A and B are shown apart, each in its own frame.
Chain A
């Protein structure tokens, strides 16, 4: 042992003191260095949790005040895809934890394979997330002024019939969305008075036609008595659609987006650790980077464990 460290110290380039190449000078022992690294990592993870807690706070306050929006809008999310993604992340968390164990045991081949699998899990998660995001982008399920849905809740664009209609609706929706944006804010109520065919809740015409075309033909109210229903709609939501649904998608994209960035960062770290494992840098005496990257990856999993029920599983 002493001979080994001596040779490594010499090759290290500075001839003072005997220490393993991975031990920094200001630490007494690899054990102390490992504990200090982990402690620092946990403090960093705390700041991550606190950063996400800002978004969870926005979610909690908004849901407490407007549960109806969450009840309505969560049906736009595909629970199956969310559940599959949860499973993918849990599996990759498992392979990550196993990879740390393999590094501790000095099982080089296993370590490389497990890290590669973990990385694959990250790709799988982002791939599914891409499918979900793409669907929402195309169907106008977006935050703020971009919110202009061309599908009804529960339709996740899986059916062929819907796919065909979806394209048609997309064209009209873009057209109308353009009109809505160019129109001055005060024009909306005037248009409402002039055209009785406009949806009673003040929604843009496309939304209503979209509803009629797809699954809710009976949802279109009769032309008479529309202005009376207008006020009523604001209290309870016409055709079960509450106001300000776009805020759900603001929260959805902020939370899953920040989480997605963390998945990307985690994947970059895993790739880095994978490269170093292939170089054979890790073993029972030194596996700190594997361990710390693992902690980060588990935190990403941890956040998703809460995001999944909060966004997809609203009853």
Chain B
């Protein structure tokens, strides 16, 4: 949709991201970096990790959507990328679930066996 608009002008290929959006995204990324550093110093318990990850996801989304043009691209590219992320989620999710099932026992056993020579 936006591609056709861009291509009307002098045979341009692809979409030209407006300068205002580029600067805005850059400023937002810098501010969010500052926010995530400051947020670490506040004790939120478990939430600290989730807040840091939320900020990282927002920053990543800004980069992907605007710096990487995905918002203006053909939907096929988004499909590929989101498809990849789905597999990452499956990978991490299942691995974490699996390790939570029995890993504590395994680690305990290893720790007992390696008591004298650990920390090398």
Q: Is A35 an interface residue (CB 8 A)?
A: yes
A285 at interface by CB-CB < 8 Å: yes
In Å, the complex CA distance between A307 and B119 comes to 26
Residues of B within 8 A of A42 (CB): 77, 80-81
Is A214 on the interface with B (CB-CB < 8 A)? no
A179 part of interface (Cβ distance < 8 Å): no
- Selected contact of A50 from candidates B7, B30, B88, CB within 8 Å: B88
Smallest CB-CB separation from B45: which chain A residue?
A: A315
Bound complex: CA A308 to CA B52 (Å)? 10
Given contacts A97-B17, A315-B44, contact A202 B30 (CB under 8 A): no
A38: chain B residues within 8 A (beta carbon)? 73-74, 77
Q: Tally of A-B residue pairs with Cβ under 8 A?
A: 179
In the A-B complex, the 3 residue pairs with the smallest Cβ-Cβ separation, listed nearest first, are A46-B84, A315-B48, A189-B116
On whether the beta carbons of A298 and B88 are closer than 8 Å, the reply is no
- Where chain A touches its partner, the secondary structure class is helix
A294 to B70, CA, bound (A): 13
Size bracket, chain B contacts? 35 or more
Within 8 A of A (CB), among B36-75: 36-37, 40, 43-44, 48-49, 52-53, 55-56, 59-60, 63-64, 66-69, 73-74
Q: How far is the CB of A37 from chain B (nearest CB, A)?
A: 10
**Interface membership of A64, Cβ < 8 A:** yes
> C-beta contact mask, B93-120 vs A, less than 8 Å → 1, else 0?
0011001100110010001000111111
**Docked-complex contact A313 and B37, CB < 8 angstroms:** yes
CA distance A6 to B56 in the complex (A): 50
Check if A268 is an interface residue, CB within 8 A of chain B.
Answer: no
Contact with A along B1-40 (1 / 0, CB 8 A): 0010001001111101101001101100110011011001
- How many angstroms between the C-alpha atoms of A61 and B17 in the bound complex? 39
- Kindly list chain B residues whose C-beta atoms are within 8 Å of the C-beta of A57: 91-92, 95
Q: Check if A315 sits within 8 Å of B19, measured CB to CB.
A: no
Q: Which of A189, A203, A295, A313 has the most CB of B within 10 A?
A: A313
5 additional A-B residue pairs with CB within 8 Å, beyond A34-B13, A94-B23, A284-B10: A38-B73, A57-B91, A66-B107, A104-B14, A302-B63
- Contact call B22/A97, Cβ cutoff below 8 A: yes
- Scoring B63, B66, B76 by chain A CB atoms within 10 A of each residue's CB, the highest score goes to B63
Q: Once the chains are docked, how many angstroms separate the CA of A46 from the CA of B85? A: 8
Contacts of A180 in B (CB 8 A): 120
B119 and A202 within 8 A (CB): yes
Contact status A61-B96, CB under 8 Å: yes
A289 → chain B closest CB, angstroms: 13
Asked if B111 and A243 make an inter-chain contact with CB atoms under 8 angstroms apart, the answer reads yes
CB pairs A–B below 8 angstroms (6 shown): A38-B77, A56-B88, A60-B95, A284-B12, A308-B33, A309-B53
CA distance A105 to B14 in the complex (A): 11
CA distance A104 to B69 in the complex (A): 13
